[in-house]
Amino acid sequence: MSTKTEIEVEAPVAAGSGSERPPDPCSLVIFGASGDLTHRKLIPALYSLEYRGLLPENFAVVGVARTESSTEAWREKMREAVTEFGRDPMDKDVWERLASGMHYVTTDFSSEGGESDVMKLLERLDKERGTKGNRVYYLAVPPTAIRTVVDKIGERPRAKGWVRLIVEKPFGRDCASAKAMNEDIVTHFAENEIFRIDHYLGKETVQNVLAFRFANGIFEPIWNRRYIDNVQITVAESIGIEDRASFYESAGAVRDVVQNHLLQLLAITAMEPPADFEADAVRNEKVKVVRAIAPPDPAYVVRGQYGPGEIDGKKVPGYREEPGVAAESSTETYVALKVFVDNWRWAGTPFYLRTGKHLSSRSTTIVALFRPAPHPPFLEIAGEGLRPNVLVIHIQPNEGISIRIGAKVPGQGMTIQPVHLNFEYDRVFHVQLPEAYEKLILDAMLGDATLFTRIDEVEAQWAFVDSIVAQWKNAKPDFPNYAAGSKGPKSADALMARDNRVWCL
Ligand SMILES: NC(=O)c1ccc[n+]([C@@H]2O[C@H](COP(=O)([O-])OP(=O)(O)OC[C@H]3O[C@@H](n4cnc5c(N)ncnc54)[C@H](OP(=O)(O)O)[C@@H]3O)[C@@H](O)[C@H]2O)c1
């Protein structure tokens, strides 16, 4: 009998993107073309799409920034970026196909007429490359620059095609600023033209949570307060703040990760099954979850900041010693909290969330701990091995799913030992997982907003985060309280201990 479980998948992005049709001809305008996101993620993602033949034949990329550069010099820099950060080998023909439609415009949108050269180039490309007036505007600029760019594009007469606006995270820094930013954007763009990115939703493994829950009949009946004791969601990073001090000082872990990635993971873990996989059906269910999260009890909110320590055998400075960080900074680089989703499915089931920088390892997981079996008949003899079932969804790295069950140890007695049933992406599918940005850029071109955040969800996320920030307003934290390279502050373990629990991983 064959035990083979391998599955060959030819083109994973195409297979999983819902892209039965290719995107319409279009121009993609990247604002912030001289920045980190463009060279590390966006251009490598476009290259990977071109590599798989997923971009439209009539396509152009217009990079826009204030930094002086020629198109030739920008193309060369982007080629180097693809070589360094891309997941596919550099193929001369593929690159030439993409690069021949890439242009760079040096301009400052805040100066009078700063947008003219971009608009003229787009009209030219419509004629030369047949992009048909369809535009994707990608705002890869700091939040402070968004309003100027949006107003300038929005005030221009529209070309005859469709328009889509991709806005990077963070969308605002609290509920009020998110609403204000949105009010400005919606004076020029309709909600279905706005694509608010949280790149976590573009990850294969995050989408697989939806497949796992809703494509399998066996999990949904037990996916609730009756069978699940608690859920633990972790976004742990081993990197520090790198060179993002000015952004991080005004954001901290709660705005940088809790508001978006952690709440997204919580929403897809806890949401009700949508009627279909249309954008609004999925987003309606997600927003209900975020709105049902009660502000956390202050006794169950822990914040931390890393001090000096060691990562991979190398000494690293504490947060307050990082360049650009205030010597007495009270910005948190770690957050752990317990929250409840107040609805029928989840009432009384704690969701423990945590995220931090410069932790001992990089790992994003969703763990569901099930209640113990109600009456195991062999309790006394089974001993230690009788542990509750645990389901772990590994979002990154080692993407996959594992379930811990109790199994009988071979032999005379009835000794039970925990064992793991594992599904690992790379062992089953034999393909590299596509980068989140590939999926999201393609979806935006296709006009599919399922994996983008609607404004009501953004507002609900910020309302929750604002409630935490308000708790911290007058309390001076005792920072630093964990060493870089450790598992985080001791108070995060104490939070669990108070509930007679421990962090599972
Ligand atoms: N990097 C990432 O991995 C990442 C991940 C998630 C989200 N994001 C978000 O993506 C956005 C860009 O991040 P980044 O890391 O690429 O930042 P970055 O390296 O600082 O680049 C910012 C880009 O925006 C342009 N810019 C800056 N100020 C501007 C202004 N006032 N008007 C017009 N353009 C301006 C800069 O170009 P010029 O100075 O040449 O104009 C540069 O190209 C941010 O909102 C960030 O939060 C980034």
Alpha-helical segments (H) within 105-259: 116-129, 143-155, 175-186, 204-214, 245-253
Confidence class for position 414, pLDDT limits 50, 70, 90:
confident
Q: Which helix (H) or strand (E) holds 301?
A: strand 301-304
Contact between 404 and 422 (Cβ < 8 Å) = no
How far does residue 244's CA lie from ligand 1's centre (Å)?
Answer: 11
**77 Cα to the center of ligand 1, angstroms:** 16
> Does the beta carbon of 19 lie inside 6 Å of ligand 1?
no
Residue 71 alpha carbon to ligand 1 centre in Å:
19
Binding site membership of 428 for ligand 1 (Cβ less than 6 Å): no
Q: At 474, is the pLDDT very low, low, confident or very high (cuts 50, 70, 90)?
A: confident
Which H helix or E strand runs over 315? strand 314-316
Closest CA to 102 of 140, 72, 81: 72
At residue 80, the pLDDT reads 98
Question: If you measure from the C-alpha of residue 140 to the centroid of ligand 1, how many angstroms do you get, rounded to a whole number?
Answer: 5
Is any atom of ligand 1 closer than 6 Å to the C-beta of 197? no
Please, are residues 112 and 150 in contact by the beta-carbon 8 Å criterion?
A: no
pLDDT of amino acid 383: 63
pLDDT band at 377 (very low <50, low <70, confident <90, very high): confident
CATH 3.30.360.10 in the chain is located at 201-497
Give tens-digit pLDDT for 82-117: 999 999 999 999 999 999 999 999 999 999 988 999
Tokens of 323: 């360049």
Which phi and psi (to 5°) does residue 23 adopt?
-65, 155
d(C-alpha 314, C-alpha 318), whole Å: 13
Ligand 1 center from residue 184 Cα (angstroms): 20
Residue reference for tokens 């279009």: 26
Query: Which one of 39, 199, 261, 394 is the catalytic residue?
Result: 261
Predicted model pTM: 0.94
- Pick from 31, 68, 111, 141 the residue to mutate for probing ligand 1's pocket: most ligand atoms within 8 Å of its CB: 141
* 438-470 b/e (C-beta count within 10 Å ≥ 16 → b): bbbbbbbbbebbbbbbbbbbbbbbbbbbbbbee
Q: Does the beta carbon of 37 lie inside 6 Å of ligand 1?
A: yes
- Relative to the CA of 41, which ligand 1 atom is closest? 3
- Give the range among 77-81, 292-296, 374-378 with minimum mean pLDDT: 374-378
Q: How would residue 384 be classed by pLDDT, with cut points 50, 70 and 90? A: low
Say whether pLDDT at 136 is over 90.
Answer: yes
How far, in Å, are 51, 330, 343, 484, 501 from residue 481 at the CA level?
47, 11, 35, 10, 21
Cis peptide before 397 (omega within 30 of 0): yes
Q: Where in the chain is the domain with CATH 3.40.50.720?
A: 14-167
Task: Give how far the C-alpha of residue 293 lies from the chain's centroid of Cα atoms, to the nearest Å.
Answer: 20
With cut-offs at 50, 70 and 90, classify the pLDDT of residue 17: very low
pLDDT above 50 for 477? yes
Reference 366, options 262, 500, 440, 467; nearest CA is 262
State whether the beta carbon of 274 lies less than 6 angstroms from ligand 1.
no
Nearest to 240 by CA among 313, 141, 168, 321: 321
14-167 under CATH 3.40.50.720, yes or no:
yes
Query: Per the structure block, which two tokens stand in for 488?
Result: 């985080």
Nearest to 461 by CA among 280, 273, 264: 264
What residue owns the CA closest to ligand 1's atom 33? 145
Q: Name all contacts of 273-278 with Cβ < 8 Å and 24+ positions apart.
A: 273/213, 273/214, 273/220, 274/214, 277/18, 277/210, 277/450, 278/450
| Ligand 1 centroid from CA 158, angstroms | 25
Q: Is the beta carbon of 67 within 6 A of some atom in ligand 1? A: yes
Q: What is the pLDDT of residue 10?
A: 42
Residue 6 CB neighbours (<10 A): 8
Average pLDDT over residues 479-486: 98
Pocket-testing residue among 31, 34, 37, 235, ligand 1, by greatest number of atoms within 8 A of Cβ: 37
Element (DSSP H or E) covering residue 74: helix 71-85
Nearest CA, atom 5, ligand 1: 37
Percent of the chain past pLDDT 90, that is, above it, reads: 85
pLDDT in tens, 203-256: 999 999 999 999 999 999 999 999 999 999 999 999 999 989 999 999 999 999
490 phi, psi to nearest 5 deg:
-65, -30
The CATH fold assigned to 201-497 is: Dihydrodipicolinate Reductase; domain 2 (3.30.360)
User: Phi and psi for 231 in degrees, rounded to 5?
Assistant: -120, 135
Ligand 1 neighbour 168 (Cβ under 6 A)? yes
Return d(Cα 328, Cα 320) in angstroms, integer. Answer: 7
Are 306 and 321 within 8 A, CB to CB? no
Confidence of residue 15 (pLDDT cuts 50, 70, 90): very low
Q: How far apart are CA 469 and CA 473, in angstroms?
A: 6
Amino acid 413: pLDDT: 81
Annotation marks residue 375 as catalytic: no
Ligand 1 center from residue 477 Cα (angstroms):
30
Kindly state if the Cβ of 32 falls inside 6 Å of ligand 1. Answer: yes
Q: What pLDDT is stored for residue 14 in this prediction?
A: 43
**pLDDT class of 385 with cuts at 50, 70, 90:** low
- Whether the per-residue pLDDT at 418 is higher than 50: the answer is yes
Q: Is 312 left (phi over 0), alpha (psi -120 to 50) or beta?
A: left
